[in-house]
Structure 1
Amino acid sequence: MNISMIGIDHSRASVAYRELFSFTRAQAAAAMKRIRDEFAVDGCLLLSTCNRTELWISGEAGRRISPYDMLCEVKGIDKSQYGAYFVERRDGEAVDHLFQLSCGLASRLFGEDQIISQVREALVHCRECGCDDMVIEKLFQSAIAAAKKVKSTVRITAADQSTAVSSLELLKNRMGSLKGVRCLVIGNGQMGRLIANALVDQGACVSMTLRKRIHGREEQGSIVPEGCRMVPYEDRIAELTDSQVVISATLSPHYTIHKTDIEGMKLPEQRIWLDLAVPRDIDPRIGEMEGFHVYDIDSLSDGSMGTASETAVRRALEILEDHAAELERWFAFREEVPQVKKITELAAEDVMDRLSGTMRELTVSDDAVAELSDSIYTAAEKSVGKILYGLRETLTPELWEVCMDALVRAAQKDTLKTGSPNPAGR
Structure 2
Amino acid sequence: MPLFSLGINHQTASVSLREKVAFAPESLLEAYQQLLLQETVRGAVIVSTCNRTEIYCDLSLDDAQPVIDWLCHFHQLDKNELAASLYCYQGRQAIQHLFRVASGLDSLVLGEPQILGQIKQAFATANQTKNVNQVISKWFQRTFSAAKRVRTETQIGANAVSVAFAAVRLATQIFSDLSKSHILLIGAGETIELVGKYLIEHNVPNITIANRTLARAVELVDKFDAQAISLEEIPNHLAHADLIISSTASPLPIIGKGLVERALKARRHKPMLFIDIAVPRDIESEVGELNDAYLYSVDDLQGIIDENIQARQEAAIDAEKIVADCVDDFIAWQESLKAVESIRLYRNHSEQIRDQLLANASLALANGKSPEKVLKEFAFKLTNKLIHHPSKALTEVSHSDDNHELQLLRMALGLNTEE
- TM-score band, normalised by shorter chain: 0.5 to 0.7
**C-alpha contact (below 8 Å) 2:3/2:90 kept by paired residues:** yes
Tell me what 2:147 maps to.
147
Q: Map of 1:76-91 to 2, 5 A cutoff?
A: 76-91=76-91
After superposition, residues 120-269 of structure 1 pair within 5 angstroms as 120-156=120-156, 159-161=159-161, 165-166=162-163, 169=166, 179-184=183-188, 197-198=197-198, 203=207, 205=209, 225-227=223-225
Equivalent position SS for 2:149: helix
Q: Write the letter of the residue equivalent to 1:109.
A: V
Counterparts in 2 of 1:28-177, with a 5 A limit?
28-38=28-38, 41-60=41-60, 63=63, 65-156=65-156, 159-161=159-161, 165-166=162-163, 169=166
Cα distance in 1 for residues equivalent to 2:222 and 2:36: 37
The separation in 2 between residues aligned to 1:223 and 1:44, in whole angstroms, is: 42
Pairwise CA distance, 1:10: 1.2
The structure-2 alpha-carbon separation of the partners of 1:64 and 1:159, relative to structure 1 and needing over 3 Å to count, comes to closer
Q: CA separation in 1, counterparts of 2:306 and 2:84? A: 20
Q: Distance in 1 between matches of 2:231 and 2:17?
A: 28
Q: Any conservation in 1 of the 2:6–2:54 contact (CA below 8 Å)?
A: yes
What's the Cα RMSD here?
A: 4.9
CA distance in 1, matches of 2:25, 2:231: 28
5+ residue gaps, structure 1, are 210-220, 231-238, 248-266, 272-290, 294-299, 348-401, 417-426
Tell whether the 8 Å contact from 2:7 to 2:55 is kept in structure 1 after alignment.
yes
Give the Cα separation in 2 of the matches to 1:67 and 1:241: 57
Q: Deviations over 1:11-38 (max 9, x none)?
A: 1223232222122322233312221125
1:111 is paired with a residue whose SS is coil
Give the Cα–Cα distance (whole angstroms) in 1 for the partners of residues 196 and 133 of structure 2.
38
Q: CA-to-partner distance for each residue in 1:210-253, whole Å, 9 max, x for gaps?
A: xxxxxxxxxxx9996342689xxxxxxxx999998689xxxxxx
The change in CA–CA distance for 1:336 and 1:152 in structure 2 (over 3 A counts) is: same
Q: Counterpart of 1:23 in structure 2: which amino acid?
A: F
Specify whether residues 410 and 71 from structure 1 end up closer, same or farther in structure 2 by C-alpha distance, changes over 3 A only: same
Q: Aligned residue for 2:323?
A: 320
Deviations 1:270-297 (A, max 9, x none): 69xxxxxxxxxxxxxxxxxxx999xxxx
Deviation at 1:77, TM superposition (A): 1.6
Question: CA offset at residue 65 of structure 1?
Answer: 2.7
- Counterpart in the other structure of 2:373: none
Which residue is equivalent to 2:337?
334
- Tell me if structure 2 keeps the 8 A contact 1:343–1:407: no
Q: 1:169 to 1:309 in 2, by over 3 A?
A: closer
CA shift at 1:181, angstroms?
A: 3.0
User: Which has more radius of gyration?
Assistant: 2
Contact kept, 8 Å, 2:164 with 2:194, in 1: the verdict is: no
Could you tell me whether the CA contact under 8 Å between 1:5 and 1:88 is conserved in 2? yes
Percent identity between the aligned chains?
21
Higher relative contact order (CA 8 A, sep 6+): 1
Deviations 1:280-331 (A, max 9, x none): xxxxxxxxxxx999xxxxxx9x999931366533322221111111111111
The yes-or-no answer on 1:306 pairing with 2:309 is: yes
CA 1:153–1:20 in 2, change beyond 3 Å: closer, same or farther?
same
Q: Residue 31 of structure 1 contacts residue 74 of structure 1 at CA under 8 Å; is this kept in 2?
A: yes
Tell me how far 1:67 sits from its aligned partner. Answer: 3.0
User: Aligned equivalents of 2:50 and 2:140: distance in 1?
Assistant: 20
Q: Aligned AA for 1:330?
A: W
Q: Which has the higher helix share?
A: 2
Pair 1:27–1:156, CA change in 2 (3 A): same
Partner of 1:374: none
- Equivalent position of 1:4 in the other structure: 4
What SS does the corresponding residue of 1:55 show, helix, strand or coil? Answer: strand
Aligned partner of 2:225: which letter? G
Whether the 8 Å CA contact 1:39–1:61 is kept in 2: the answer is: no
Q: Residue 287 of structure 1 corresponds to which residue in structure 2?
A: none
Deviation at 1:197, TM superposition (A): 2.6
Q: Structure 1 residue 151: deviation in Å?
A: 0.8
- Give me the whole-angstrom Cα distance separating, in 2, the residues matched to 1:48 and 1:7: 10
When the two structures are superposed, what TM-score results if normalisation uses the length of structure 2? 0.55
Contact 2:47/2:54 (<8 A) preserved: yes
Q: Secondary structure at the match of 2:110?
A: coil
Report the residue type matching 1:134 in the other structure: Q
After superposition, where does 1:402-421 map in structure 2 within 5 Å? 406=409, 410=413
Q: 1:139 offset after TM fit, Å? A: 1.1
Provide the secondary structure at the position in 2 that maps to 1:43.
Answer: strand
Q: Quick one: structure 1 residues 167 and 309, their matched pair in 2 at CA, closer, same or farther if it must change by over 3 Å?
A: closer
Q: Aligned equivalents of 2:306 and 2:38: distance in 1?
A: 37
SS at match of 1:85: coil
Answer whether contact 1:183 1:204 (CA < 8 A) is retained: no
CA contact (8 A) 1:179 1:204 kept: yes
Unmatched tracts of structure 2, length 5 or more: 171-181, 235-245, 255-279, 283-301, 351-404
* DSSP 3-state at the match of 1:306: helix
Closer, same or farther: CA 132–229 of 1 in aligned 2, 3 Å:
farther
